[in-house]
């Protein structure tokens, strides 16, 4: 199966009401062309999962600013005033999840685990409505796994079969999200031929990647 598609093809996969994961940290390591294409597509009532909501004019924050998102699951939202305003107006649900817990919940979703036990968030609003499990006299929150219909990743280098390499902090959340979605689409900065990437440098294997988009 040919994996190379356009950003517009990727956006066309997004249907109203879907749950989407986006890799990256404050738009670094986020597939920007795909985000722009989804904005143009007008898909709405989306649930987005990621470290943050970027900025109003960059990254997944564009989807928030365009009011295409019904729910956000993220570790912080402070760089996007649109997210804050929509949350305060009760026009969009925001679930704040501690960053390490968010990463573990995604990992659990990819590994088929039932959740992660963590003391982080005990005694705070993070714990509201969540099971507390006592183990050997210590309380832990049960944080349930996260899974998405589509995960959109960004990679510095990728080959035509979908093997991916991330430079520096662009790796944030991308590898684990590749395991936790029904469909995985990677936007690649530098597309190379199969065999040009040393096997030991591959961070996400091609078996996890369904489609690739060449970053323009």
Q: For residue 83, give the H/E element and its range.
A: helix 81-88
pLDDT at 22: 98
Which of 198, 174, 210 lies closest to 25 in space, CA to CA? 174
Burial profile 69-108: b = 16 or more Cβ within 10 angstroms, e = fewer: bbebbbbbbebbebbeebbeeeebebebbbbebbbbbbbb
Q: 175, 184 in Cβ contact below 8 A?
A: no
CATH of the domain at 81: 3.40.1080.10
Q: What is the pLDDT of residue 216?
A: 82
Residues spanned by the domain of 61? 4-214
Give the pLDDT of the chain (216 residues) as one tens digit per residue.
579 999 999 999 999 999 999 999 999 999 999 999 999 999 999 999 999 999 999 999 999 999 999 999 999 999 999 999 999 999 999 999 999 999 999 999 999 999 999 999 999 988 999 999 999 999 999 999 999 999 999 999 999 999 999 999 999 999 999 999 999 999 999 999 999 999 999 999 999 999 999 998
Number of domains in the chain: 1
Strand, coil or helix: 117: strand
Residue 138 pLDDT = 97
pLDDT at 11: 98
Q: What is the pLDDT of residue 2?
A: 79
């Amino acid at each position: 199966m040919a994996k190379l598609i356009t950003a517009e093809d990727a956006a066309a996969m997004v249907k109203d009401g879907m749950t989407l994961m986006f890799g990256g940290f404050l738009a670094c390591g986020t597939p920007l062309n795909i985000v722009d294409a989804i904005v143009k597509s007008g898909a709405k009532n989306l649930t987005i999962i990621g470290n943050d909501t970027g900025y109003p004019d960059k990254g997944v924050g564009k989807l928030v600013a365009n009011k295409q998102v019904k729910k956000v699951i993220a570790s912080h939202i402070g760089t996007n005033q649109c997210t804050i305003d929509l949350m305060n107006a009760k026009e969009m649900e925001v679930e704040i999840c501690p960053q390490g817990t968010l990463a573990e919940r995604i990992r659990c979703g990819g590994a088929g685990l039932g959740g992660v036990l963590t003391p982080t968030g005990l005694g705070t609003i993070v714990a509201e409505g969540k099971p507390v499990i006592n183990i050997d006299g210590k309380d832990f929150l049960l944080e349930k796994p996260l899974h998405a219909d589509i995960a959109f990743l960004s990679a510095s280098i990728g080959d035509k079969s979908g093997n991916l390499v991330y430079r520096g902090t662009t790796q944030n959340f991308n590898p684990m999200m590749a395991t936790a979605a029904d469909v995985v689409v990677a936007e690649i900065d530098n597309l190379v031929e199969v065999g040009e990437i040393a096997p030991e440098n591959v961070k996400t294997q091609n078996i996890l990647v369904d489609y690739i988009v060449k970053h323009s």
